[in-house]
Chain A
Amino acid sequence: MTLLVLLSLLIAAILSVAVGHRDDRLPPLLGVVGAMVAWIGSVLIGVQQWGMGATAASTGTGQVATGGLPISVTLRVDQLSASMLVLATSVALLVQVYSVAYLRGDPRYPSYTAFVGVFTAAMALVVMADDLFVLLVGWEVMGVCSYVLISHHWELEPARSGAVKAFVMTRLGDIGLLFGFFVLGKAAGTYRISEIVAAARGGEITGHEATAAALLVLCGVVGKSAQFPLHSWLPDAMPGPTPISALIHAATMVAAGVFLVARLLPVFGLSDVAMNLLAAIACLTMVGSALFALAADDLKRVLAWSTVSQLAYMFAALSLGGYAAGVEHLLSHGAFKALLFLAAGSVIHAVGTQRLDGMGGLRTSMPVTFVTMTIGFAALAGLPPFVGFFSKDAVLGVAADQAANGSAARGWLVLVVGVLVAGLTSAYATRAWLMTFFGPRRGHATDVAPHESSWLMLGPMVVLAGLSVVGGAAVVKPGFLGVDAEGAHLPVVLVSLAVALGGAAVTVVQWQRLRRADPALALGRLRPVLAREARYDDLVGALVVRPTGWAARFTRLNEEDVVETYVGGVDSSGQWAARLVRWTHNGNAQRYVTAVVIGAVAVAVVIGVVGPS
């Protein structure tokens, strides 16, 4: 079954590149069929895991020698990987269907289908891998697919630079991840993930080793999931096609960091240092990105910052040991954020711009998009009865538990920041919602009146909206993860709900006060600072990018001037050698023989001089 999932996606991808150019209808068809088969396989795996009570099982195909510990080519399916697999293939299937209409007539459809397929297979490999290096293969292949798909429109400058930035920043983190895997392997004596987790639970890994491994793994996690200080690539990845943003940059790949921490949570649990750092990163990222989302003037950028902020919620839960809460919020966010991006794609398709000031008043012309996106925003803001309400309160419930007993400082930090960000979240969600669907129609890029998208696009949105409505039930009883739910606390629920409603209310009031202009104008002088994202890119440019450029230019000058000069001096001896060579190859066989003989004699002389001792 695991092979069915991987192979159906890969075969569809290969076929799409090989024969896709013969007929325009082939690539979309191959994409949908491949994803459909993979989805069926994943659901069957899920049924085995949840319904039929199958236990976690590994399947291996052999070992790769490294001269030290071997790498086992092994896959493992348990309840966590089944859940992730169903999420990834479901969103992939919906995105493939959606793309049929969204990318209709795109000449690069064959490669698009192929890379989405390879990406989905790589994500499946990550969640099913039972060996750190097998996981790493999937992890990096996802990264390169993300890079290619961000630059799908490679004639556009933002797409090119966004792709470069995303790839280099995540690779930087991944080097840390690789070293973390080295440390883990050496500490546990194996690269098998299940055995490492068992060793961590059994106390066979010391605190120091766990701290070193966890901090290094965290580098990769922070890069992949766009957390501070490697957070700034995700908003710049938004020039990619919107279905890609939904699949890769919201629902699956960026959540892989959360998955990895959840997978290795017993290792992280051995290290207070790592857990404290994770909590601090999560809280800082959560607040910062929510503020950036509040001021961003591009709809997809708002959603991207919101993804960063929501991922931080998941990390916050995990930093308190809240395994179920973290994974639940991952799954719930996967559904409602994919919905938001697909709906945003529908809007962008209709109005021809991503800028919020090019939208407005769309609720009448795009009723289905309006309703589904409203459900998505409500789930994001954490309003009942939508799925985001339950999963966010699960996170805050863990924080309250830990604040009361356990790691109190960490618990209080996450609780206070989490409730505060609940308010910010609903504020930016409300702002984006108002500016897209309400108020006057602002300058549209196209002359055509906006119209509702085709049902190929609306269908997937309706499905995800339905899941966002009923998904709460699964969060309340997360039997599918094989662990007990961490309890929600009624006072915390009420306070966070009140704060969220407050955030929304303040935004609506400002919207009315400013006569239906951007509520972010009320931020005053803070707005330009937030809109420029605290000039973090400038800081990175000054501290990293430009010095690297100087070093590169210095190296090149050194090669061209310094090295050339001293080698040029040697060249005079080169002239001499050239003459010698010319002499030999001008000559006849006798000269060659002479040379060989002279050489042999020279060898004999040297041996004679050195002499066998």
Chain B
Amino acid sequence: MIGGLEIIIGLPLLGALVVLLLSRRDTVAAWVGVAFGSATLAGSVVPWAATIDDGGGYVARSDTAWIRALDVRWALGLDRLSAPLVVLTALLSWCCLVALVRRAPSCGARPGLVALVLVLESASIGTFAALDLIVFFVFFELVLIPMWFVIADWGDEHDPVGRRRAATRFLVTTVTGSALMLVGFLLLHARTGTFDVTELPSRAGQIGAGTQVLVAVLFLLGFGAKVPVWPLHFWLPDAHSKAPTVGSVLLAGVLLKLGTYGLLRFWADVPDGAVRVAPYLGALGVVGIVYGALACLAQTDLKRLIAYSSVGHMGFVLLAISTLTEQGRLAANFANVAHGIITALLFFVVGAVKDRVGTTELAGIGRALYARAPHLGAAFGFAAVASLGLPGLAGFWGEMLSMLAAYSPAAALSRSTYVVFMVVAGLGAVLTTAYFVVAIRRVCQGVPDRDAVGDVGRDEWVAWSPLVASVLALGIFPVIMLWSGSASALAGRR
């Protein structure tokens, strides 16, 4: 039987095939990509709406035996935790596909890139929708391959060696992480006898304390390499600075979320282990916030700056996860989505800057973007202000709730430890403000020292406007994700 989720996983895959068949006709391929992306986006909203109406369980479920010998079932479904991430994935993919219509990648071969974006979309949605650990693992791995190609083949055209190295570094780190994750999954199966995601939380009692801690640590390392948790972030700045714009957008907006989603979802299966490991995760998270902010403050490359800012923002998500409360889950989920949208916008804007001046080095960009391309400068300013967490825009609510959750962590955790985390995170937020206003001052303000560049084109506005609108909508109406009941049934328990 083919359910709704098979359709929104299959559509982009089908689209990728069609695009490859059309590979001779460059622009047509791009338009076909947009068509499939639009259909997927429209389809992804349906289960999201269903999770809001539903009592908090899984919707759009399908469940059939797949590999009987291994006890693997083809099980899909979405709940209030995963559904918003699926919409986020579909939205960001749509923006990327639209962005590819008018602007061919610098090294050509556009249909290939369009197809890879579609495959990435399909695999990411599959990961969020998987309700079987092995299906999750398969999709999780499937995401990596297209991203490797995107970075290695469509990356920085000036540095073919560097982009390959960056792509490989990304791949090796994540594969190593997912191997650890797989060991964790197998341990879970060994103790509980099931790969069923919906079933596992209720079987936590069958897992001994030692195994729980071991699994929690494996998940911390495995998903942490993906998030990335400080100090496993070393692959991220390189990957971002070499990736093409659409690669950076999907990497920051979707792929990092796979890690935080995994932690949120699977730490619930080993609650006793999570309690032991959570303070360490919280500590790594707040260190990441401050470290990322400091790295940004002295950064001279705009793309690397945004990459490090992601380390900081994901630190807030990790802090929220580590509180092990409903409030923390809500905060993490909101911050996940908000960071995805805002950072995607930042990468689009910086990508547009790179298209025009050929570099992302601050020295090469020059000053006074407000004068040389007013709309582009304003878009950067807007995205930066959203990213530094201005109340009234999307970034604020997730980070505020994350600190609020740290103010009252789960009863089993030491409150004073978390209050310290909260204060350090707050100071990190101030540093975040500092590096963004310094960047605005350096890039947007000042006396123009070179020629004007082309301002934001209509096609770029089309690709960016859903992101701008979402930043405003989630900021002004946070109730979209924070309605009463969203917290109580976030975990998809029945």
Interface residues of A (CB under 8 A from B): 62-68, 70, 73, 133, 136-137, 139-141, 144, 147, 151, 154-155, 160-161, 163-164, 167-168, 171-172, 175, 178-179, 182, 186, 548-549, 551-556, 559, 563, 567, 570-571, 573-575, 577-578, 581, 585, 600, 603-604, 606-607, 610-613
CA distance A161 to B442 in the complex (A): 11
Q: How far is the CB of B179 from chain A (nearest CB, A)?
A: 10
User: Contacts A65-B484, A556-B295, A613-B191 known; A600 to B70 CB distance under 8 Å?
Assistant: yes
Smallest Cβ-Cβ distance to A69: which chain B residue:
B404
Q: How far is the CB of B464 from chain A (nearest CB, A)?
A: 16
CA distance A179 to B191 in the complex (A): 43
Tell me which residues from 175 to 219 in chain B have a Cβ below 8 Å from any Cβ of chain A.
175, 182-183, 186-187, 189-191, 193
CA distance A603 to B416 in the complex (A): 43
Smallest Cβ-Cβ distance to A554: which chain B residue:
B294
**Any A CB within 8 A of the CB of B49:** no
- Decide if B482 touches A577 in the complex (CB within 8 Å): no
Taking CB atoms, residues of chain A closer than 8 Å to B190 are: 607, 610-613
Smallest Cβ-Cβ distance to A559: which chain B residue:
B295
Which of B193, B431, B437 has a CB less than 8 Å from the CB of A612?
B193
- Decide if A577 touches B172 in the complex (CB within 8 Å): yes
User: Contacts A66-B482, A613-B191 known; A167 to B437 CB distance under 8 Å?
Assistant: yes
Interface-facing stretch out of B12-20, B107-115, B326-334? B326-334
User: Contacts A66-B330, A141-B391, A154-B370 known; A578 to B482 CB distance under 8 Å?
Assistant: no
Smallest Cβ-Cβ distance to B444: which chain A residue:
A154
- Decide if A171 touches B407 in the complex (CB within 8 Å): no
Q: How far is the CB of A211 from chain B (nearest CB, A)?
A: 16
- Decide if B405 touches A67 in the complex (CB within 8 Å): yes
Which of B171, B296, B370, B408 has a CB less than 8 Å from the CB of A581?
B171
Q: A570-B169, A574-B165, A577-B172 are in contact. List 9 more A-B contacts (CB 8 A).
A: A66-B482, A68-B404, A133-B391, A161-B441, A171-B430, A555-B298, A559-B237, A603-B70, A606-B183
**Any A CB within 8 A of the CB of B466:** no
Which of B69, B183, B487 has a CB less than 8 Å from the CB of A604?
B69
- Residue contacts A-B, CB under 8 angstroms, 15 given: A65-B486, A66-B330, A66-B487, A68-B408, A137-B391, A163-B441, A171-B429, A175-B426, A179-B422, A182-B404, A548-B294, A567-B235, A570-B169, A600-B70, A610-B187
Taking CB atoms, residues of chain A closer than 8 Å to B438 are: 164
User: Contacts A160-B445, A552-B295, A607-B190 known; A147 to B172 CB distance under 8 Å?
Assistant: no
Q: How far is the CB of B300 from chain A (nearest CB, A)?
A: 9
- Decide if B298 touches A577 in the complex (CB within 8 Å): no
CA distance A214 to B171 in the complex (A): 50
**Contact digits for B142-180, partner A, Cβ 8 Å, 1 yes 0 no:** 000100110000000000000011001101100100000
Taking CB atoms, residues of chain B closer than 8 Å to A574 are: 165, 168-169, 171-172
- Decide if B234 touches A567 in the complex (CB within 8 Å): yes
Which of B67, B368, B487 has a CB less than 8 Å from the CB of A67?
B487
Pick the 5 closest A-B CB pairs, nearest first: A67-B327, A552-B297, A154-B445, A67-B487, A552-B298
Taking CB atoms, residues of chain B closer than 8 Å to A141 are: 390-392
User: Contacts A140-B392, A164-B437, A613-B190 known; A67 to B325 CB distance under 8 Å?
Assistant: yes
Q: How far is the CB of B424 from chain A (nearest CB, A)?
A: 11
**Any A CB within 8 A of the CB of B270:** no
Taking CB atoms, residues of chain A closer than 8 Å to B405 are: 67
**Any A CB within 8 A of the CB of B316:** no
**Any A CB within 8 A of the CB of B446:** yes
CA distance A504 to B275 in the complex (A): 68
- Decide if B479 touches A168 in the complex (CB within 8 Å): no
Tell me which residues from 334 to 352 in chain B have a Cβ below 8 Å from any Cβ of chain A.
none
Which of A144, A581, A611 has a CB less than 8 Å from the CB of B385?
A144
**Any A CB within 8 A of the CB of B433:** yes
CA distance A553 to B298 in the complex (A): 6
Q: How far is the CB of A222 from chain B (nearest CB, A)?
A: 15
Q: How far is the CB of B354 from chain A (nearest CB, A)?
A: 21
Taking CB atoms, residues of chain A closer than 8 Å to B385 are: 144
CA distance A160 to B442 in the complex (A): 10
Taking CB atoms, residues of chain B closer than 8 Å to A559 are: 237, 295
- Decide if B433 touches A67 in the complex (CB within 8 Å): no
Taking CB atoms, residues of chain B closer than 8 Å to A578 are: 164, 168, 171
Which of A139, A175, A556, A573 has a CB less than 8 Å from the CB of B429?
A175
Taking CB atoms, residues of chain B closer than 8 Å to A65 are: 330, 479, 482-487
Q: How far is the CB of A263 from chain B (nearest CB, A)?
A: 18
**Any A CB within 8 A of the CB of B28:** no
Taking CB atoms, residues of chain B closer than 8 Å to A70 are: 484
- Decide if A64 touches B479 in the complex (CB within 8 Å): yes
CA distance A73 to B404 in the complex (A): 18
- Decide if A178 touches B331 in the complex (CB within 8 Å): no
- Decide if B187 touches A67 in the complex (CB within 8 Å): no
**Any A CB within 8 A of the CB of B274:** no
Taking CB atoms, residues of chain B closer than 8 Å to A172 are: 430
- Decide if A606 touches B186 in the complex (CB within 8 Å): yes
Which of B168, B183, B391 has a CB less than 8 Å from the CB of A136?
B391
- Decide if B430 touches A549 in the complex (CB within 8 Å): no
**Any A CB within 8 A of the CB of B423:** yes
CA distance A77 to B251 in the complex (A): 47
- Decide if B234 touches A563 in the complex (CB within 8 Å): yes
User: Contacts A553-B298, A555-B294 known; A571 to B165 CB distance under 8 Å?
Assistant: yes
- Decide if A182 touches B483 in the complex (CB within 8 Å): no
- Decide if B191 touches A186 in the complex (CB within 8 Å): no
Centre residue among B187, B190, B423, B447 by max chain A CB count within 10 A = B190
